[in-house]
A and B are shown apart, each in its own frame.
Chain A
């Protein structure tokens, strides 16, 4: 891609209407959404169920035609087949051919992308290891659990080493350990310079991995910006201390009040249930080994 950096994703005034059974009115699933994702960025789209996240992604991949507006992937119109060369997509609740094994599935998608031979075989090995499906690679997908299918879906999306990954609810139905793995994977991809566009209704996860966040409600983009911009409360400052006794705390309070501030809260920080669960799971995993 020569010339100046094009945005990885550019969506301009996207409108998508579906016919509704309700008389002849059209139902607006996506209402004038615009967003831009620079190369190498991790963008999270959050919103409740039915707010138009999946529809936006499908329009970006040319699976549905926009009613109006424009979607571009690396400067190429989404409705063209060429736009799909450098994109990997993980659909919501992915479902693959039950009669195939994980290996065959990846081979099939790799060959659709024009890969073959040794290069493809090596890529498949690497991906299967990456999503830790080594033990199940020769089993038919009919017997896979939800989380395993999700991982096959991820591997399939990454088969041709795309520069952009579009992940629709990547952690839906996956247990916390699995979703932690997916999160780590996204970090890894980000280091490699891959652009990631994900959507979720699980706020914590988006918060952990995304540089930029867009909040979508009823098809409308409500707010958009970098994560720190959106979540910092300007007038507050957080201090985290280890091993402090009551006396020191009283002194700190004094110092703060002298400076004209006010100590709002103190106490042991709560770890999230998710963190606790993962810690225990890790411990059990180590003991088992």
Chain B
């Protein structure tokens, strides 16, 4: 008898591909229409550019902020609900029996499910990103033209006009913006892996969603909380809460580590090394939660 490998790329891709089609056929992509409406609506927020470059930048910031907010929300909701639905459904429908009684290690199954959700979120995010960049670019070019027109009438030199245009474009579609989108994807992946972990021991989809949301919220505020208690301590007020935040940081993800959109929205450049670090942190978190899921799932009675 030949040995079955522990992790097989083919098997994982079969399960991932299957999960992806399953989700697509559940028609989850309809939500993209809602996204399109939000991005289009953000276009019409305060169109008065009134000359000043600062106001132009402010406008673009609002638009980018809305775009990233929508992308964040949608990718997280998609990752969370898809993952929270899949595993309980497989157990309830007993489709899991027919999969696990084939020579499929349980770890392969979990990784396959997770990657299927990740593929889905990636495709959704690519579409959203494309749409967002397209509209943002149209807006930026319109502003550049408007400014150029204005400055020419004011009799400014070509160099001044050019530098203004560059300043505006800096706030538009850039590589740093794409790095921000990658960070959004990473967050969604971490959320999906948390939902996967919770769903290995939870008994219902709704429980999985609630617990995951709580974990994500703790992950979002834990950095602030730690900073706050550290500050308190430096003021001479030691509190047991500081110790607790240390423990929390061991168990819960620190989403602040993955947040680079704030800078991106302000038009800051994202360096390769920062993007690398953020990606590493995201993948590491997802890997840790997947291994933990496997620990629970390995011995689970079906």
A: residues with CB less than 8 A from B are 1, 18, 58, 61-65, 74, 76, 81-82, 84-87, 89, 91, 93-97, 99-100, 108-109, 111-114, 153, 156, 160
Neighbouring B residues of A76 by C-beta, 8 Å: 1
Q: A91-B97, A112-B99, A113-B102 are in contact. Are A81 and B4 (CB under 8 A)?
A: yes
B: residues with CB less than 8 A from A are 1-4, 10-11, 14-15, 18, 21-22, 25-26, 93-95, 97-105, 299, 301-302
Neighbouring A residues of B93 by C-beta, 8 Å: 95
Q: Is B98 a contact of A84 with CB atoms below 8 Å?
A: no
Q: Is B14 a contact of A91 with CB atoms below 8 Å?
A: no
Q: A91-B98, A94-B94, A113-B103 are in contact. Are A99 and B1 (CB under 8 A)?
A: no
Chain A interface helix/strand/loop/mixed = loop
Residue from the list B1, B94, B299 in contact with A91, Cβ < 8 A: B94
Q: Is B97 a contact of A63 with CB atoms below 8 Å?
A: yes
A160 to B4, alpha carbons, bound, how many Å?
15
Q: Is A58 a contact of B302 with CB atoms below 8 Å?
A: yes
Neighbouring B residues of A64 by C-beta, 8 Å: 301-302
B90, closest chain A residue (CB): A97
The 6 closest A-B pairs by CB, nearest first: A89-B101, A99-B25, A91-B97, A111-B14, A84-B103, A112-B102
The winner among A95, A156, A160 for most chain B CB atoms within 10 A is: A95
Q: Is A61 a contact of B101 with CB atoms below 8 Å?
A: yes
Q: Is A97 a contact of B22 with CB atoms below 8 Å?
A: yes
A114 to B10, alpha carbons, bound, how many Å?
8
Chain B min CB distance to A159 (Å): 8
Chain A min CB distance to B272 (Å): 38
A87, closest chain B residue (CB): B101
Chain B min CB distance to A6 (Å): 11
Q: A1-B1, A82-B4, A112-B11 are in contact. Are A99 and B21 (CB under 8 A)?
A: yes
Q: Is B103 a contact of A96 with CB atoms below 8 Å?
A: no
Q: Is A82 a contact of B95 with CB atoms below 8 Å?
A: no
Q: Is A112 a contact of B301 with CB atoms below 8 Å?
A: no
Q: A82-B3, A85-B4 are in contact. List 5 more A-B contacts (CB 8 A).
A: A58-B302, A81-B104, A91-B97, A94-B98, A111-B14
Q: A96-B98, A109-B98 are in contact. Are A74 and B10 (CB under 8 A)?
A: no
Q: A81-B103, A99-B21, A108-B18 are in contact. Are A93 and B94 (CB under 8 A)?
A: yes
Neighbouring B residues of A62 by C-beta, 8 Å: 100-101
Q: A112-B11, A112-B104 are in contact. Are A89 and B97 (CB under 8 A)?
A: yes
Q: A97-B22, A99-B22 are in contact. Are A156 and B98 (CB under 8 A)?
A: yes
A152, closest chain B residue (CB): B98
Q: Is A85 a contact of B22 with CB atoms below 8 Å?
A: no
Q: Is B94 a contact of A95 with CB atoms below 8 Å?
A: yes
Neighbouring B residues of A114 by C-beta, 8 Å: 10-11, 103
Chain A min CB distance to B108 (Å): 9
A87 to B101, alpha carbons, bound, how many Å?
8
Chain B min CB distance to A117 (Å): 12
Residue from the list B10, B100, B103 in contact with A63, Cβ < 8 A: B100
Chain A min CB distance to B295 (Å): 15
Neighbouring B residues of A153 by C-beta, 8 Å: 98
Q: Is B1 a contact of A85 with CB atoms below 8 Å?
A: yes
Neighbouring B residues of A156 by C-beta, 8 Å: 98
A172 to B18, alpha carbons, bound, how many Å?
29
Q: A1-B1, A81-B4, A85-B1 are in contact. Are A99 and B26 (CB under 8 A)?
A: yes
B101, closest chain A residue (CB): A89
Chain B min CB distance to A84 (Å): 5
Q: Is A89 a contact of B103 with CB atoms below 8 Å?
A: no
Neighbouring B residues of A94 by C-beta, 8 Å: 94, 98
Q: A84-B103, A113-B103 are in contact. Are A108 and B97 (CB under 8 A)?
A: no
The winner among A65, A81, A87, A94 for most chain B CB atoms within 10 A is: A81
Neighbouring B residues of A91 by C-beta, 8 Å: 94, 97-98, 101
The winner among B15, B25, B98, B105 for most chain A CB atoms within 10 A is: B98
Q: Is B14 a contact of A112 with CB atoms below 8 Å?
A: yes
The winner among B1, B10, B15, B22 for most chain A CB atoms within 10 A is: B1
Neighbouring A residues of B1 by C-beta, 8 Å: 1, 74, 76, 82, 85-86
Q: Is A95 a contact of B22 with CB atoms below 8 Å?
A: no
Chain B min CB distance to A116 (Å): 8
Neighbouring A residues of B4 by C-beta, 8 Å: 81-82, 84-85
B302, closest chain A residue (CB): A63
Neighbouring B residues of A61 by C-beta, 8 Å: 97, 100-101
A219 to B163, alpha carbons, bound, how many Å?
84
B106, closest chain A residue (CB): A81
Q: Is B101 a contact of A63 with CB atoms below 8 Å?
A: yes
Q: Is A89 a contact of B2 with CB atoms below 8 Å?
A: no
A-B pairs with beta carbons under 8 Å apart, 5 shown:
A62-B100, A64-B301, A74-B1, A82-B1, A96-B95
